[in-house]
Amino acid sequence: MLKNTNQTLHNPTKRVTDILELLSKTSIGHTLKEISDTLNIPQSTISPILQTLCKTQFIMRNEYTLKFSIGVTSFMVGYSFINSLDILEIIKKHMRKIVKETDEICQLGILNEKDVLYIAKVEPTQPIKLESHVGKTFPAHTTALGKALLSKYDDEKIRSLYSQKMKKLTEKTISDVNILIKEIQYIRANYIAEESGENNREVRCVAVPLIFKGYIFASISISIPIYRSSDEKIESIKNCLLKYKDSIEKELSNINIEISDINFIKNNANTI
């Protein structure tokens, strides 16, 4: 059996794991210099490692701040482990109850830079239902899931994220950052995010953020074809999501887990 000592560790490999561990503990990322100084490794040694980790998406680099943070491949590796644990099953248990009450598809997502990444879904018994794929991404500002996740950021951060042209998927997609900020301000106050035809012309969606120890780590949503999205139906969905949002957060707070235990879905989380 290998002993856990520096003498038995492969130093080049340990540099990789040290970088990943360092980045997993920050919500804002680190620059090349900060990583070099913290780990006491020359920048010339770390730079090619960071380039490789970026190309394989274990980490990502913000083109504006030049800071590195945990990437989607790290999430997928973590997901394969966490899938066997109680945390995801707790959330999916409540998602199944949501679907039973609404008979519409329920999805779980996290934020990956400016995209929302779908990591779990529960489908309804409806004969006509929406298609959805785990692992798919969409621009966060075009989805209710994404807007709920973006609500963890302050207005200044939102302006920074969307300082360039905002991608439009339909004629209804928000393309003005001021309109997006106004919606996010409402979400921060009411914990309800909505969109209708902004991501898909045929679909309306409602979402709520999931919060653990002050952090928005994920969000859940109900998507519904517009043709059967009456105001009464949408109001019922909002109440259902808020009810199970509370149930999920209470159950997570009552089990013996720490923020590090949900770090795989807490990418770039910020205090609300």
Residue 179 CA to residue 183 CA, distance in Å, equals 6
CB 212 within 8 A of CB 252: yes
**Model confidence pLDDT, tens digit, residues 115-170:** 998 888 998 886 555 566 677 889 999 999 999 999 999 999 999 999 988 999 99
CATH classification code of 6-70 = 1.10.10.10
CATH superfamily of 80-265: GAF domain (3.30.450.40)
pLDDT score for 269:
33
Calculate what percentage of the chain has a pLDDT beyond 70: 83
Question: What's the pTM value of the predicted model, to 2 decimals?
Answer: 0.67
Task: Find the range with the poorest average confidence among 32-36, 71-75, 102-106, 244-248.
Answer: 71-75
Which residue ranges does the chain devote to CATH 1.10.10.10?
Answer: 6-70
Which residue ranges does the chain devote to CATH 3.30.450.40?
Answer: 80-265
Other Cβ atoms less than 10 A from the Cβ of 92: the count is 17
Task: Find the range with the poorest average confidence among 77-86, 92-101, 116-125, 251-260.
Answer: 77-86
Average pLDDT (95-117) is: 92
